[in-house]
A and B are shown apart, each in its own frame.
Chain A
Amino acid sequence: MSVFVWIETFGGAAESSSWEALGAAQSLADALGTDTTAIVFGEKSAAIAADAGKFGVASAIICNADEMREYRLETYAALLGNLVDQHKPAAVVAVATSRGRELLASAAADNKSGLIAEVIDLRVEDGSLVGTRPAYAGKVLMEMTSRTVTTFLTVRGRAFPPPPVNAAVKPSVTQVSPATIATELETQIDELVAELGAVNLSDAAIIVSGGRGMANNPAAAPAGLKGEEANIWKAKEGFAKTLQPLADVLGAAIGASRAAVDAGYIPYEHQVGQTGKVVTPDLYVACGISGAIQHQAGMRGSKIIVAINKDAEAPIFKLARYGIVGDLYDVVPALTDALRARLS
């Protein structure tokens, strides 16, 4: 009847967002009068379980068999499903990353249990779990409850704080065997291309985003580029030479509007909005973004929004805490210089 929390790992270390899942799991465990159990699969799982002890986890179930070394949906879902069936936890919590989403949904299906996804707030009401989650691309919120013995919950990144580091608890660790047979797997990972500086907008505390206004770069495009090609060159140059330095000073990730992505100014991985990422940074700096409703759906949960736009009537200013009316190609470099001076 414990609360399970899946600690997502990569390359033998816990993903730091996993501690947010643990924070959510612990508040749930407190409300239910139970404790938390860390589920750690893969390389160095014993060491990671010990780390979880620093955050107050009472026990851990680990599996570091060879076939569990790297995350795979089939192996991980089969074992998680078995453990849930065996221990009947009140809940299983993970962060709603690509892996967390598919793993919990699959194990929930195997166990015919309820899943509440992308939870941003959580409470216990008359013994039932009630999760608040976005719907309609975040334009409205909904409350959902589950009536099965175990409820699976994915929590949105940055929605729950990690628990405080307490006097180290030494969790009681149980080692288990995989639930699958390696030779019977349906998929095989042929190649892994780790991206340098991979875009992780969901985790970012600060995001600097560019929109269609990025094409108003005063820098002259190379001779021979005409019309839209020249705009693409200017916008790309602007992302690299104007926005990136500001992002570097702030330690920020680079985002973009759909208009900028669709125009070919920046790859899709950067898109914030209804068909991109939903982000909730502490600070969101929107540069040359008008603020279409579908963009707002992706960033309205940011703590502080700053808008820089030439058009004083742009809808983004209605959402912003601070606004500067002006050309981003004047304002952003000035902001970068002033920040450098202030932070040095």
Chain B
Amino acid sequence: MHVVTFTRSTPDTAAKVWVNDDGEVTWGDVGTVVNPWDEYSLEETIVQAGHGGGESTVIAIGSELHNDALKHSLAMGIQKALRVDEAGADMNDSLVWSALAAGAIRKLNDVDLVIFGKESVDVATDQHTYQLARSLGWTMLSYVSQIMEANYTAGTIQVERMLERGKQIVSGRLPAVISVLKGINEPRYPNFLGIRKAAKAQIPVWSAADLGIDLPTAATSALRYFNPPQREAATEMITGDTVKAKADTLIDRLFAEKVL
């Protein structure tokens, strides 16, 4: 059996990200980390591949920027990494992204389960997850908080999903695409041996031609990036002789702001 996960490099969680005068998104000299949600999907991929006695593969779709996330994945213990890149392809468009991802899964040809983190913080969406499942025609189970049972011989999976209105236990057929939430596991830290192995790894790069697919036309395009309006800098520090006086003043202000 074979479990695949997708990842990307995103700016460090603590980094300030802004749009510079040329309209480009930048985070200065700060490095990238593996997309924070992917810590959980990487861990779950290692666990599930271990349970099933099978293989694990991590894939990134896009530029060399994502090699760092792939190396981090290998250092954690994912067995193989590969990158799909295609010059001129608009990776911001989720239909283009999912066509390349589906091409890679089809080329691997023996995949039982694809595990995603909840979303990617850079593109700030999870649409590519569902669109990959759709283009493969596979079962989609999102917002998974626990895998209750995965039977790779029988081709079934049962999961717990966490939704706005509560939790749901759902069974489905494999192959499947799932997205997992924080809390499903405790992601491991890469150990020294893992880091050394990952540093030496050669990561193959597949193009659309390697996948044997015709790239679809992008349905969407990003027009421009810009900085959110500055929040009013005026902070009023509430003072008073007693805590009660401060509380009363604050409440007066909140009534005046009409938020109470």
Chain A residues within CB distance 8 Å of chain B = 10, 73, 77, 97-99, 101-102, 105-106, 108-110, 112-118, 130, 133-148, 186-195, 198, 200, 202, 206, 250, 267-269, 271, 274-276, 282-283, 292-294, 300, 303-306, 317-326, 330-331, 334-335, 337-339, 342
B-side interface size class: 35 or more
Would A101 and B126 be within 8 Å (CB), given that A190-B171, A319-B231 are in contact?
yes
**Bound complex: CA of A200 vs CA of B143, how far in Å?**
15
> Which segment, of B66-74, B79-87, B200-208, B246-254, faces chain A?
B246-254
Asked if A145 and B223 sit within 8 Å, CB to CB, the answer is yes
Asked if A275 and B37 sit within 8 Å, CB to CB, the answer is yes
Asked if B259 and A117 sit within 8 Å, CB to CB, the answer is no
Q: Mark B235-258, 1 if CB is under 8 A from A, else 0.
A: 111100001101110110111010
Q: How far is the CB of A105 from chain B (nearest CB, A)?
A: 4
Q: How far is the CB of A312 from chain B (nearest CB, A)?
A: 8
Chosen A-B contacts, 11 in total, with CB atoms closer than 8 Å, are A98-B164, A102-B140, A117-B127, A135-B123, A135-B124, A136-B17, A143-B226, A189-B169, A293-B14, A304-B254, A335-B251
Interface residues of B, dominant DSSP: mixed
B152 at the interface (CB under 8 A from A): no
Q: How far is the CB of B116 from chain A (nearest CB, A)?
A: 12
Interface residues of A, dominant DSSP: mixed
Q: Mark B99-113, 1 if CB is under 8 A from A, else 0.
A: 000000000000000
> Which segment, of B44-52, B189-197, B214-222, faces chain A?
B214-222
Q: How far is the CB of A267 from chain B (nearest CB, A)?
A: 8
Given contacts A112-B95, A187-B172, 12 further A-B pairs with CB under 8 A are A77-B134, A101-B126, A109-B135, A140-B227, A141-B226, A141-B227, A144-B220, A147-B219, A318-B235, A323-B236, A324-B237, A338-B244
Asked if A146 and B224 sit within 8 Å, CB to CB, the answer is no
Chain B residues within CB distance 8 Å of chain A = 10-11, 13-19, 25, 36-37, 93-95, 98, 121-127, 129-131, 133-135, 139-143, 158, 162-173, 181-183, 216, 219-228, 231-238, 243-244, 246-248, 250-251, 253-255, 257, 259-260
Pick from B133, B139, B260: contact of A283, CB below 8 A. B260
